[in-house]
Amino acid sequence: MYNTVSSDILIKGFHHGIYAEYCGGGFFNIIGNTISNSGNGMTLLNSSPFISQNTVNGNQYSESGIFMCDSYGKLEYNVINNFYYTYYSLLSSPELLKNVFNSSYYDNICLSYSSVPNMHPVVSGGSKYWISGDNHFSGSPSGAGIFFEDESYPNMAFGYNRFTLTNNAYYINGTNPAGSDTFDVRENYWGTLSPDQNKINIANSDGLLFNPFDDNSSEQRSVNNYALYDIGFGLYDTVFFQESDNPGITQELYLEAYQKEHSEEYSEAIEIYKEIISDYPDNTVSSFAVSSLSRLFICYEKKNSTVSEYGVLQNYYSNILNDTSYGEMHRNLSEDLEIKTKVKQNNIEEAISDYNAIYLNNLNTSKGIHALINKEILAIEEGEGDNFTGGSEIENLESKQTRINGILSELINKRFSILSNINTQPESFALSQNYPNPFNPSTVISYSIPKFSYVSIKVYDISGKFISEIVNKFQSAGNYEASFSGEDLSSGVYFYRIEAGELSQTKRMILLK
């Protein structure tokens, strides 16, 4: 709590200000920190933290302010400035309350692969509980305030979120996962009471439910009471609400389950979350069913469930996965949570195999990259990663972090790469002859990869002695060049070898001084 993590190196002082993986719900709070000049402000993998009152500052070289993969929890009162994406998520649906997402270079928020953050207060019994909502999108992103794809969308109807963007292409831009339904963005502020509706670009939709609220009016965001929710370690989350005598049952069950969970009445919360999931198999009717799937898992974590209890939960998620009456978003999330129950039962090899199968069946997609991230985390922990050295614990940790960093960097730049290479994407793996050849002292090696792959290019002398590795990272489909300098080497014959996907090839080059 209340730390400052900063670097004087403006290009990219470090990859992550805060990095966390497998930090379960109820055990992890990030509060009151300042992070500056990192590639990624916070990187959260398979974690469900409470994140509050942090300031995260990036620059033109920074990638994501907060990156979440398979993560939930709550983000409130944070200020995130000047990242390529201020927030990027894969299969993550946290509560977002009163955050400032400011001046990203591309999109303020990018939601991918079944990510549905809650961005509106919960209404129960006529009272409005500010668990989420009232986020502020500011700055001049070249893309959109919110971009969403692959069965994702912002749950923001009646959210009182505020968009005060300039020089942006869109307020929100994405594809409606429901299809042939109207998309609900009522009661949000778009910088004016007469916004340009062309800047709300929703594909696969029959239209908008659109009724902006006046940002100058405080009535809709007023409160007159509060409740305290235990978040562990003697800390409490203060949830403000506006009491009302008007009857209402809109989100009664979800609020009841949420309150039970934070009162440590986990068994009762679990049953209510299951009731919501059963009653709303289609996320177009209630997005809180998606949140309930993940909060159900968090309850099992919080109550320190046994292996046998996780076995029962595995069967529960498996049944939803195989039940086509549930929507695709429900089944995507249940598929992943089923694998996570295997991890909780210490069936790591089976979990790795599951993620690998998903990856191979979904190459060059957000679902495939999501599976690859999870596979790498588990595989390297088990010593089965493709680049596992068998060395010291520190060496293995560094190897793991290098691979994860490579995947995240490629993912963050995926959309830009797709747009840049859309007309030149190669059809097969290929390694070209270096040019110039002979060379002195430098040469360029060109290669092509048709799909997201791990690429390694190593140089050897004529005796087979290893000289250097000039490429060692995951890369998206495309055409690439790598430079090699022989400035400190003697004249002679050298070999360069590429390992990428199905390609394993060696070529000869000549250094002539």
Whether the predicted pLDDT of 144 surpasses 50: yes
| pLDDT on residue 384 | 46
Whether the predicted pLDDT of 100 surpasses 60: yes
Whether the predicted pLDDT of 455 surpasses 70: yes
Phi, psi of 13 (to 5 degrees): -65, -40
User: Strand, helix or coil at 128?
Assistant: strand
Whether the predicted pLDDT of 165 surpasses 70: yes
How far is 220 from 408, CA to CA, in rounded Å? Answer: 39
How far is 85 from 102, CA to CA, in rounded Å? Answer: 10
Residue 342, in any domain of the structure: no
Whether the predicted pLDDT of 327 surpasses 60: yes
The pLDDT confidence band at residue 280, using thresholds 50, 70 and 90, is confident
Whether the predicted pLDDT of 309 surpasses 80: yes
Q: What is the torsion angle, in degrees rounded to the nearest 10, for the CA atoms of residue 101, residue 106, residue 111 and residue 116?
A: 30
Residue 308, in any domain of the structure: no
How far is 334 from 253, CA to CA, in rounded Å? Answer: 20
CA atoms within 13 A on the CB side of 82: 12
Q: What is the count of structural domains for the chain? A: 2
Average pLDDT, the chain: 84
The pLDDT confidence band at residue 496, using thresholds 50, 70 and 90, is very high
- What is the secondary structure of 194-207 as a DSSP string? S--GGGEEEESEEE
| pLDDT on residue 285 | 54
Whether the predicted pLDDT of 434 surpasses 80: yes
User: Among 200, 221, 242, which residue terminates a domain?
Assistant: 221
Residue 349, in any domain of the structure: no
Which range among 46-50, 181-185, 339-343, 422-426 shows the weakest confidence by mean pLDDT? 422-426
Q: In what order do the strands lie in the sheet with 127-129?
A: 122-124, 127-129, 235-242, 225-232
Average pLDDT over residues 86-107: 92
Average pLDDT over residues 321-335: 92
- pLDDT tens digits for range 131-140: 999 999 999 9
pTM: 0.75
Whether the predicted pLDDT of 340 surpasses 90: yes
Here the CATH number for the domain that contains residue 440 is: 2.60.40.3080
Backbone torsion region of residue 304, taken as left when φ is above 0, otherwise alpha when ψ lies between -120 and 50, otherwise beta: left
- pLDDT tens digits for range 204-255: 887 888 888 876 666 666 777 667 777 776 777 777 767 654 434 447 888 8
Average pLDDT over residues 29-48: 92
- pLDDT tens digits for range 478-492: 888 999 999 999 989
Domain range enclosing 483? 430-511
Residue 332, in any domain of the structure: no
Whether the predicted pLDDT of 9 surpasses 80: no
Residue 172, in any domain of the structure: yes
Residue 74, in any domain of the structure: yes
Average pLDDT over residues 419-423: 44
Average pLDDT over residues 79-87: 93
User: Among 163, 189, 221, which residue terminates a domain?
Assistant: 221
- Higher pLDDT among residues 69 and 414, named by residue: 69
| pLDDT on residue 251 | 72
| pLDDT on residue 386 | 41
| pLDDT on residue 499 | 93
Whether the predicted pLDDT of 170 surpasses 50: yes
Residue 386, in any domain of the structure: no
| pLDDT on residue 10 | 44
User: Among 172, 203, 221, which residue terminates a domain?
Assistant: 221
Residue 445, in any domain of the structure: yes
Q: C-alpha 221: how far from its chain's center? A: 29
Structure tokens at 465: 């002695």
The pLDDT confidence band at residue 333, using thresholds 50, 70 and 90, is very high
- What is the secondary structure of 52-94 as a DSSP string? ES-EEE--TT--EEEEEES--SEEES-EEES-SEEEEEES---
Whether the predicted pLDDT of 192 surpasses 90: no
Select the highest-mean-pLDDT range: 275-289, 394-408, 462-476: 462-476
User: Strand, helix or coil at 487?
Assistant: coil
Q: In what order do the strands lie in the sheet with 162-165?
A: 4-5, 34-36, 55-57, 79-81, 100-102, 136-139, 162-165
| pLDDT on residue 354 | 96
Average pLDDT over residues 278-296: 80
Place of tokens 């009302």: 244
Whether the predicted pLDDT of 385 surpasses 80: no
